[in-house]
């Protein structure tokens, strides 16, 4: 069976892993890095950049550099979360026809699925280069607290990138999978504390003999390293404001520099007591350039983020309780996500669980490794591993008056189904509308709308007589589906969905075609690039040998050589593969004969 790769599609960084031998390994990218920034940019010449190369030009090309797409994917434009996230980014976030989000960069508009697909395609390529064979199957991870819309959108992104996403699994669960269980035959309770760039997740698992059972899960999809950075940015900007009367946050380019500085400072303070922030020529006042010079101590930083860390701990406690356990019952705590390197975070987690936290494994890589392992477990018969995950959000339907009736409570093991009977309230009513929601709020308005399902084609009958059984199912990816059956006739009831957001099949097909075209173009460019390099190198070599050989070569021969050189130059300019190929052959011949001359 072909290989399945594991991809950790993170808010700030992504990572890809493959299965090798008995375990999994992370595949470094072309630059030799284990992780690749989840950044997509559009250069002035229209070229699309992904990863480190995109990050490097982020400051000078702020409005066309898209980062943190994960905070927007699968969300409604008019949601509080999007308002919060969109407010802090230099690129434009706009609403699409269905009320979802899109971004504007490089003079074009993209759906978030597309942006994420560019990153997934890049990770796919990294794996393919390493394995030396094409890859089409992957397990992709998402925050445990992602809802149905966000999961579906992530799957769509994979589809556009040419990946069959065979499973979507939760990040903390993936991290647990890559953590080897200590003693055979015993049952361990494990807590995974995952604080990444954009999201916080905590999962409690019970592990025994290769079975990983998730007992409860909690989190906050808008709490992560980016928020820690924001605290530093505000601190720096406020002090600058006090000093110069200028708010740097209003300037997109300055903000980008501040963002980078904040990220670096945060990392520095993990192993230094004080950090210096220097940003020269950050702004101008009365025509004069002014600079930012500020120091930040670890203590002050900890004050700034104290409430964020406290929130993480509070959510952790609550999740342990929901699982019917106490913090003392937890045998091991695993830290995941770069943000857990912050000393204050480690300290508070240790205090909460009363034990030392595992610092062995690399918090940036464990999620991708776990994803690869799950891919292996699904496709390999001999695998001993089994994952029993849960749905993080309750599923319910709306009743008249705006209240929610819960059908599948949160922390229910998936896959799961629940059947519910519907009937009519008017005589000869031909359709019933079912509004499906995800969330814990009692009021409809506090939950996420999954979709409005219209059950039509109900036979005319007195009110209360028709009996339609609707099955609500959550599959192993955590994605909801609704099917209906008329119990009296046994036939499948027709159900139409008006989904909030998501791409249509046509959209996806179109984007897949675009991606394929792009890949073909890229390949051509690469071959052209290689040929160009060859021709250039040969051209130089010939030029080097020419002066010495000039004396011994006849006039005609010299003319021929000059023509070949000129043709090579124009071939290089045109970048035409055909011309380059020809020039390469010609130059090789010339070079060889000149070498022969030299030897004489």
Stretch of 102-110, 147-155, 209-217, 577-585 lying at the interface with other proteins (CB under 8 A): 209-217
Instruction: Return the SS3 of 243.
Output: helix
Tell me which of 34, 188, 362, 379 binds other proteins, using CB under 8 A: 379
Q: Which run of H or of E encompasses 302?
A: helix 298-322
HEC secondary structure over 37-97: ECEEEECCCCCEEECHHHHHCCCCCHHHEEECHHHCCCCECCCHHHHHHHHCCCCEEEECC
Tell me which of 97, 425, 551, 599 binds other proteins, using CB under 8 A: 425
Which residue's CB is nearer to other proteins, number 386 or number 596? 386
Q: Is-catalytic flag, 171?
A: yes
Tell me which of 23, 134, 289, 402 binds other proteins, using CB under 8 A: 402
Residue 280 in the binding site for other proteins (CB under 8 A): no
Instruction: Mark 402-440 as b/e (b = at least 16 C-beta within 10 Å).
Output: eebeebbebbbebeeeeeeebebeeeebeebebbbbbbe
Residues 6 or more apart from 419 whose CB is under 8 A from it? 469, 470, 471, 472
Indicate which residue of 70, 137, 266, 448 is catalytic: 70
Interaction residues for other proteins, span 323-352 (CB under 8 A): none
Whole-number Cα distances in Å, 571 to 141, 521, 524, 537, 592: 46, 19, 15, 13, 20
Query: How far apart, in whole angstroms, are the C-alpha atoms of residue 16 and residue 124?
Result: 8
User: Residues 137-176: x/- map of binding to other proteins (CB under 8 A)?
Assistant: -----------------------------x----------
Q: Closest approach of Cβ 366 to other proteins, in Å?
A: 21
**Lookup result for tokens 């149905």:** 148
Which residue's CB is nearer to other proteins, number 59 or number 211? 211
Stretch of 138-146, 204-212, 257-265, 522-530 lying at the interface with other proteins (CB under 8 A): 204-212
Tell me which of 490, 547, 554, 555 binds other proteins, using CB under 8 A: 490
Residue 416 in the binding site for other proteins (CB under 8 A): yes
Q: Closest approach of Cβ 361 to other proteins, in Å?
A: 24
Q: Is-catalytic flag, 487?
A: no
Q: Quote the distance between the C-alpha of residue 11 and its chain's center.
A: 5
Residue 429 in the binding site for other proteins (CB under 8 A): no
Indicate which residue of 8, 128, 229, 477 is catalytic: 8
Indicate which residue of 122, 147, 171, 263 is catalytic: 171
Residue 188 in the binding site for other proteins (CB under 8 A): no
What does the DSSP assignment read for 330-354?
Answer: --EEEEESGGGGSHHHHHHHHHHHT
Radius of gyration of the chain (CA): 29
Tell me which of 98, 412, 429, 581 binds other proteins, using CB under 8 A: 412
Residue 182 in the binding site for other proteins (CB under 8 A): no
**Lookup result for tokens 């690039």:** 529
Which residue's CB is nearer to other proteins, number 307 or number 384? 384
Q: What are the residue ranges of helices labelled H in 327-476?
A: 343-353, 366-379
Tell me which of 96, 467, 534, 557 binds other proteins, using CB under 8 A: 467
Bridge partners for 395 per DSSP? 408, 438
Query: How far apart, in whole angstroms, are the C-alpha atoms of residue 521 and residue 529?
Result: 12
Which residue's CB is nearer to other proteins, number 92 or number 469? 469
Binding footprint of other proteins, residue count (CB under 8 A):
41
Bridge partners for 438 per DSSP? 395, 448
Instruction: Return the SS3 of 559.
Output: helix
Q: Closest approach of Cβ 172 to other proteins, in Å?
A: 19
Residue 2 in the binding site for other proteins (CB under 8 A): no
Which residue's CB is nearer to other proteins, number 289 or number 402? 402
Query: How far apart, in whole angstroms, are the C-alpha atoms of residue 388 and residue 455?
Result: 32
Residues forming the site for other proteins (CB under 8 A): 166, 187, 206, 208-211, 213, 377-379, 384, 386-388, 399-403, 405, 408, 412-413, 415-421, 423, 425, 464-465, 467, 469, 471, 476, 487, 490
Please list the active-site residues: 8, 70, 171, 194
């Amino acid at each position: 069976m072909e290989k399945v790769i594991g991809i950790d599609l993170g808010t700030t960084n992504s990572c890809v892993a493959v299965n090798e031998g008995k375990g999994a390994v992370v595949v470094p990218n072309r630059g030799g890095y284990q992780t690749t920034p989840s950044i997509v940019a559009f250069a002035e010449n229209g070229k699309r950049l992904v990863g480190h190369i995109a990050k490097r030009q982020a400051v000078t090309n702020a409005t066309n550099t898209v980062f943190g797409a994960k905070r927007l994917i699968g969300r409604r434009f008019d949601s509080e979360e999007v308002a919060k996230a969109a407010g802090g980014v230099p690129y434009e976030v706009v609403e699409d026809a269905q009320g979802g989000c899109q971004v504007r960069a490089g003079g074009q508009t993209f759906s978030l699925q597309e942006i994420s697909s560019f990153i997934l395609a890049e990770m796919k390529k990294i794996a393919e280069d390493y394995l030396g064979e094409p890859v089409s199957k992957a397990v992709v991870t998402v925050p445990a607290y992602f809802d149905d819309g966000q999961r579906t959108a992530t799957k769509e992104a994979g589809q556009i990138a040419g990946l069959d996403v065979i499973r979507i699994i939760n990040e903390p669960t993936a991290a647990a999978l890559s953590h080897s269980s200590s003693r055979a035959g015993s049952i361990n309770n494990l807590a995974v504390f995952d604080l990444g760039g954009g999201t916080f997740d905590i999962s409690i698992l019970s592990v025994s003999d290769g079975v990983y059972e998730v007992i409860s899960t909690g989190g906050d999809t808008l709490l992560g390293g980016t928020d820690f950075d924001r605290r530093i940015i505000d601190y720096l900007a406020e002090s600058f404001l006090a000093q110069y009367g200028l708010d740097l946050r209003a300037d997109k380019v300055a903000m980008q520099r501040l963002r980078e500085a904040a990220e670096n400072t945060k990392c520095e303070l993990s192993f230094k007591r004080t950090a210096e922030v220097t940003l020269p020529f950050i702004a101008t006042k009365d025509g004069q350039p002014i600079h930012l010079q500020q120091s930040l101590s670890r203590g002050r930083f900890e004050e700034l983020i104290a409430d964020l860390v406290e929130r993480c701990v509070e959510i952790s406690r609550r999740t342990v309780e929901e699982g019917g356990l106490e913090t003392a019952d937890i045998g091991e705590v695993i830290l995941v996500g770069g943000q857990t390197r912050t000393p204050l975070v480690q300290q508070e987690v240790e205090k909460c669980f009363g034990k030392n936290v595992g610092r062995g494994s690399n918090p940036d890589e464990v999620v991708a490794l776990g994803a690869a392992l799950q891919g292996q477990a699904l496709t390999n018969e001999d695998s001993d591993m089994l994952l029993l995950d849960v749905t993080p959000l309750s599923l319910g339907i709306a009743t008249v008056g705006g209240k929610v009736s819960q059908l599948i409570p949160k922390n229910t093991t998936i896959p799961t189904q629940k059947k519910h009977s519907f009937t009519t309230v008017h005589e000869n009513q031909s359709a019933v509308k079912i509004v499906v929601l995800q969330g814990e709020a009692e009021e409809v308005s506090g939950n996420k709308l999954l979709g409005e399902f219209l059950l039509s084609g109900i036979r005319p009958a007195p009110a209360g007589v028709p009996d339609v059984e609707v099955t609500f199912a959550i599959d192993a990816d955590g994605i909801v589906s609704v099917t209906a059956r008329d119990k009296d006739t046994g036939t499948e009831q027709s159900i139409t969905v008006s989904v909030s957001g998501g791409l249509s099949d046509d959209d996806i097909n179109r984007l897949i075609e675009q991606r394929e075209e792009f890949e073909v173009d890229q390949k051509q460019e690469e071959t052209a690039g290689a040929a160009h390099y060859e021709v250039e190198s040969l051209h130089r070599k010939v030029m080097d040998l020419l002066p010495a050989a000039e004396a011994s070569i006849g006039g005609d021969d010299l003319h021929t050589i000059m023509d070949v050189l000129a043709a090579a130059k124009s071939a290089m300019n045109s970048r035409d593969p055909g011309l380059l190929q020809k020039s390469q052959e010609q130059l090789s011949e010339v070079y060889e004969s000149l070498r022969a001359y030299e030897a004489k």
